[in-house]
């Protein structure tokens, strides 16, 4: 037990370093930096390169290797933090915080895939810059690296506390965190302070990466997203924006994970981590050390809700044009070869999952970052019912959508009473917990082995065993989904969704139960994601938990940002560009990920309304008010 607690303390101290950087940036800029984990991975891989290319090759001592590694990591990550804020975040000042959040997701994708391009995707051993198992006390074995990690954490936190408390720049950071406008009026260079905060946050992430490598022993450049998500969970547990809370959250999460894994096994890691997140959101959403008096941990404005599309409207085509497009889409499978039809099925499935997001993340203005969960639920539900219980494809397909919607709604039900950004965080937890349950429920889901032998769809006695037949089925389902979502948007319900997204406070003043409508929009989005997952399962004929990652959730959101967040046809266009074009041109997966990230950032900076929307001055996203009448 003692060795388990000590291991949790070591890992928790690393989480704390990364979480402090995230909380510092959030406190000053109100930006939830989802590229923080990517910066951790940059620090980790830079440390690996220094240790293997110079430390071991030149015979440097441990002290020299560690010193040089720290200096290089600080330099590299500090420069990246400055560039990120100057090029991506600062131009978004004055826009809704959700724009900056989505931009950091794009930056993270670029960094993660760039690391894979430079270093490859293979797992490798981290150099033993410091001994890892050379000490023992009362049966507890540990290493110099563990002691150094604890000492560095303590020194960093003490230095940061002294800097923020007594340093002139640190006091300016605190003032900017509490009230940027008041700080600006007092002569504080807020822009410079934000640069400094991003640099410090990035440097802390890089330093955390060094100790992630030392603690884990084996590293992989693809782990940036998972590390960043863990740091985000730690910061949320302590209280977003609270530096002491980030330290406490990191240590608490490390210990909880260590105890949980020792009892339930390593497969329960994500269930423990994100289960803890959901529990904190339900019972103490402000975090463990939230303080309304000092403003520590307080959220100035919702960073994960609302929309930056108030003056944009989806492009509407006349009915005859829609009919022409539908007919052309139905004819496409008959003139496609296997390669084109295979790419087309991917485009349509991702478009189907993204179409529902136009209601919740577009119209209703609630960011959702965990749609891989409902997608996985639909896939597994249909696969299990058809392979193990003899259900027909059509019955399993519909059940996949319904079960996905119901499951997602039940798991998020307790948090809809909270404000929008806490709900967005909860969707991250729901997605991760869903996939973790699938991995652990081995008697039903076969765990990490997945489900094999999923039959091709059978419709009216006809087996759809070719790419062209599957493509045709997918198109029919997508056309129905587009019709349903478009009808919802034009109906009174859609106008209410749009009113909630355009101005939640005004909608509540009119007596609209905004969170209830967001929950409904989320359920509808979960339904379509589940249907898309079911189609994917029967097309692949094999599924396993590794398919349904956080990257998939990000991709769904990227699709609607590219096409237009409140545009169903835009979701199809976004999917065609992000999924279809790389498939047809056979882009390598790494270059594809870099392209996704760059496109997301560019669209947010230059055309936030998306490709299939247009700006409309003086009108909300639908051009109509909540009663359904045209806006003046």
First vs last Cα of the chain: how many Å apart? 68
- The confidence band for 263, taking pLDDT boundaries of 50, 70 and 90, is confident
More confident residue, 609 or 411: 411
pLDDT of 58 > 60? The answer is: yes
- Residue 16 — φ and ψ, nearest 5°? -60, -40
Greater confidence (66 vs 395) lies with 395
Domain presence at residue 240: yes
By the 8 A CB rule, do 262 and 27 touch? Answer: no
Whether 92 maps to a domain, the answer reads: yes
CA 561 – CA 554 distance, rounded (Å): 11
- Using alpha carbons, list the distances in angstroms from residue 394 to 385, 399, 460: 11, 9, 10
| β-sheet bridge partners, residue 142 | 135
- Checking if the pLDDT of 376 tops 80, the result is yes
Q: Which of 103-107, 132-136, 520-524 has the lowest mean pLDDT?
A: 132-136
DSSP category for residue 616: -
242, 349: one domain: no
- Supply the pLDDT for residue 616: 62
Confidence (pLDDT) at 379: 97
**For residue 58, what are the contacts with CB-CB under 8 A and spacing of at least 6?**
none
Tokens matching residue 135: 């000490």
Question: Tokens 């560009």 appear where?
Answer: 577
Give Cα separations from 3 to 142, 252, 363, 406 (angstroms).
9, 16, 50, 41
Strand segments (E) across 456-592: 458-459, 462-463
384 and 524 together in one domain: yes
Distances (CA, A) of 287 to 22, 276, 349, 576: 14, 12, 38, 41
Q: Is residue 283 part of a domain?
A: no
99 is written with which tokens? 């724009």
Task: Output the pLDDT for position 315.
Answer: 80
In a domain, 280, yes or no: no
Instruction: Compute the distance between CA of residue 630 and CA of residue 628 in angstroms, rounded to an integer.
Output: 7
Q: Classify residue 579: in a domain, yes or no.
A: no
Q: Is the pLDDT of residue 269 over 50?
A: yes
H or E element, residue 140: strand 140-142
Instruction: Say which residue, 625 or 102, is predicted with more confidence.
Output: 102
The tens digit of pLDDT for each residue in 480-518 reads 999 999 999 999 999 999 898 888 888 889 889 888 899
Are residues 222 and 350 both part of a single domain? no
- Tracing tokens 């000092």 back to the chain, one arrives at 294
Separation CA 382–CA 373 (nearest Å): 14
Distance CA 404, CA 531 (A): 8
Length of the chain: 632
Please write the tens of the pLDDT for every residue from 546-589. 999 888 888 898 899 888 888 999 999 999 988 887 776 666 66
Domain at 229, CATH number = 1.10.3470
Asked whether the predicted pLDDT for residue 624 surpasses 50, the reply is no
Question: Is there a single domain that holds both residue 424 and residue 541?
Answer: yes
Burial of 621 (0-12, 13-18, 19+ CB in 10 A): buried
Which residue would you say has higher pLDDT here, 101 or 299? 101
Same domain, 125 and 215: yes
DSSP letters, 92-149, are GTTS-HHHHHHHHHHHHHHHHHHHHHHH-S--EEPP-SS-SS-EEETTEEE-HHHHHH
Go through 193-229 and write b for each residue having 16 or more CB atoms within 10 A of its CB, e for each that does not: bbbbbbbbbbbbbbbbbbbbbbbeeebbbbbbbbbbb
Highest mean pLDDT: which range of 89-93, 188-192, 337-341, 345-349: 345-349
Looking at 264, 285, 318, the residue that finishes a domain is 264
* Predicted structure pTM score: 0.85
**344 φ, ψ to 5°?**
-65, -40
Task: Tell me which residue of 356, 357, 333, 355 sits closest to 345, measured CA to CA.
Answer: 333
Better-predicted residue by pLDDT, 415 or 207 = 207
Pair 242, 386 in one domain: no
Nearest Cα neighbor of 483 from 323, 621, 309, 314 is 323
Query: 84 and 585 in contact (C-beta within 8 Å)?
Result: no
Task: Please check whether residue 504 is in contact with residue 306, taking contact to mean a CB–CB distance below 8 angstroms.
Answer: yes
Q: Which domain holds residue 486?
A: 340-548
Same-domain status, 240 and 353 = no
On the question of pLDDT at 385 being above 60, the answer is yes
Burial level of 64, CB count in 10 A (0-12/13-18/19+)? middle
In a domain, 366, yes or no: yes
Tell me the chain's radius of gyration from C-alpha atoms. Answer: 25
> To 10 degrees, what angle do helices 420-440 and 269-283 make?
150
The conformation of residue 631, written as its DSSP 8-state character, comes to P
pLDDT in the model for residue 306 = 53
pLDDT given for residue 174 in this prediction: 84
Contact 113, 597 (CB under 8 A): yes
pLDDT bin (cut points 50, 70, 90) of residue 324 is very high
Residues 237 and 358 in one domain: no
Question: Of 215, 235, 264, which closes a domain?
Answer: 264
Range with top average pLDDT, 138-142, 283-287, 353-357, 427-431: 353-357
Which one of 504, 528, 548 terminates a domain? Answer: 548
Average pLDDT over residues 69-80: 94
Flag whether pLDDT at 477 surpasses 90.
yes
Report the distance separating Cα 222 and Cα 124, nearest Å: 12
Distance separating alpha carbons of residues 226 and 112, to the nearest angstrom: 11
Using the Cα atoms of residue 568, residue 572, residue 573 and residue 575 in order, give the sign of their dihedral.
positive
The pLDDT assigned to 293 comes to 46
Cβ-contact 412, 393 below 8 angstroms: no
Residue of higher predicted confidence among 311 and 532: 532
Please tell me whether residue 45 adopts helix, strand or coil conformation: helix
257 and 380 in a single domain? The answer is: no
In a domain, residue 632? The reply is no
Q: Total domain count for the chain?
A: 2
pLDDT band at 9 (very low <50, low <70, confident <90, very high): confident
Residues 36, 168 share a domain: yes
Cβ neighbours, 10 Å, residue 479: 17
pLDDT in tens, 147-186: 888 888 888 888 888 988 888 998 898 888 777 888 888 8
3-state helix/strand/coil string of 287-335: CCCCCCCCCCCCCCCCCCECCCCCCEEECCCCHHHHHHHHHHHHHHHHH
Task: Report the SS3 class of residue 242.
Answer: coil
**106 and 204 belong to one structural domain:** yes
Q: Tens of pLDDT along 446-465?
A: 998 999 999 999 988 889 98
Among all chains, which residue has been given the structure tokens 């139905």?
A: 330
Q: How far apart are CA 113 and CA 592, in angstroms?
A: 9
Non-local (6+) Cβ contacts of 492 within 8 A are 628
Above 50 in pLDDT, residue 622?
no
Q: Is residue 217 part of a domain?
A: yes
- Residues 178 and 91 reside in one and the same domain: yes
SS3 589: helix
- Number of other residues whose CB lies within 10 A of the CB of residue 429: 28
Query: Residues 127, 51: contact at Cβ < 8 Å?
Result: yes
The predicted pLDDT at position 135 comes to 73
Cβ burial, residue 61 (10 Å; 0-12/13-18/19+):
exposed
Asked whether 41 and 112 are in contact (CB, 8 A), the reply is yes
């Amino acid at each position: 037990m003692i060795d388990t607690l000590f291991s949790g303390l070591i890992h928790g101290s690393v989480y704390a370093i990364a979480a402090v950087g995230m909380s510092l940036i959030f406190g000053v800029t109100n930006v939830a930096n989802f590229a923080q984990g990517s910066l951790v991975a940059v620090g980790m891989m830079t440390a690996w390169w220094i240790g293997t290319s110079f430390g071991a090759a030149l015979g440097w001592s441990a002290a020299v290797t560690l010193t040089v590694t720290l200096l290089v990591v600080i330099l590299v990550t500090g420069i990246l933090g400055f560039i990120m804020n100057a090029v991506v975040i600062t131009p978004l000042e004055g826009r809704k915080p959700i724009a900056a959040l989505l931009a950091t997701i794009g930056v993270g994708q670029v960094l993660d895939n760039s690391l894979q391009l430079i270093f490859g995707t293979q797992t490798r051993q981290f150099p033993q810059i410091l001994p890892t198992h050379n000490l023992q006390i009362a049966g507890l074995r540990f290493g110099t690296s563990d002691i150094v990690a604890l000492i560095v954490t303590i020194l960093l936190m003490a230095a940061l506390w002294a800097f923020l408390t007594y340093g002139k720049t640190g006091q300016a950071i605190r003032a900017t965190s509490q009230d940027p406008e008041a700080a600006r009026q007092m002569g504080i260079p807020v822009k410079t302070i934000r640069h400094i905060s991003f640099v410090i946050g990035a440097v802390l992430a890089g330093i955390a990466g060094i100790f992630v490598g030392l603690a884990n022993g084996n590293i992989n450049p693809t782990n940036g997203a998972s590390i960043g998500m863990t740091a985000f969970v730690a910061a949320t547990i302590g209280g977003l924006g609270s530096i002491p809370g980030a330290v406490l959250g990191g240590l608490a999460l490390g210990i909880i994970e260590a105890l949980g894994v020792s009892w339930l096994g390593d497969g329960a890691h994500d269930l423990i981590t994100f289960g803890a997140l959901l529990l904190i959101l339900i019972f103490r959403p402000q975090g463990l050390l939230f303080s309304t008096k000092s403003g520590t941990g307080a959220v100035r404005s919702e960073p994960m809700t609302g929309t930056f599309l108030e003056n944009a409207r989806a492009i509407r085509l006349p009915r005859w044009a829609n009919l022409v497009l539908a007919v052309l889409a139905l004819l496409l499978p008959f003139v496609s070869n296997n390669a084109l039809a295979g790419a087309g099925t991917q485009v349509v499935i991702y478009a189907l999952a993204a179409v529902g997001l136009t209601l919740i993340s577009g119209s209703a203005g609630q960011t959702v970052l965990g749609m891989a969960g409902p997608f996985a639920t639909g896939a597994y539900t249909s696969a299990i019912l058809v392979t193990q219980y003899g259900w027909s494809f059509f019955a399993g397909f519909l059940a996949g959508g319904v079960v996905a919607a119901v499951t997602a709604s039940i798991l998020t039900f307790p948090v809809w009473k909270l404000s929008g950004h806490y709900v967005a965080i909860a969707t991250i937890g729901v997605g991760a917990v869903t996939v973790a349950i699938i991995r652990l429920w081995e008697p039903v889901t076969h765990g990490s082995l997945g489900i094999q032998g999923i039959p091709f769809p059978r419709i009216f006695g006809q087996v759809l065993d070719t790419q062209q037949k599957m493509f045709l089925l997918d198109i029919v389902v997508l056309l129905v989904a587009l019709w349903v979502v478009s009808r919802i948007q034009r109906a009174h319900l859609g106008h209410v969704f749009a009113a909630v997204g355009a101005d939640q406070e005004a909608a509540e003043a009119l007596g609209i139960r905004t969170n209830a409508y967001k929950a409904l929009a989320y359920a509808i989005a979960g339904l379509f994601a589940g249907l898309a997952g079911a189609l994917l399962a029967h097309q692949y004929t094999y599924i396993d938990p590794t398919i349904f990652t956080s990257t998939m959730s990000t991709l769904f959101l990227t699709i609607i940002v590219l096409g237009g967040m409140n545009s169903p046809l835009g979701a199809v266009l976004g999917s065609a560009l992000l999924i279809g074009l790389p498939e047809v041109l056979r882009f390598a997966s790494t270059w594809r990920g870099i392209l996704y990230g760059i496109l997301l950032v560019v669209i947010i900076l230059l055309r936030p309304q998306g490709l299939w929307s247009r700006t409309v001055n003086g009108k909300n996203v639908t051009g109509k008010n909540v009663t359904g009448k045209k806006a003046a």
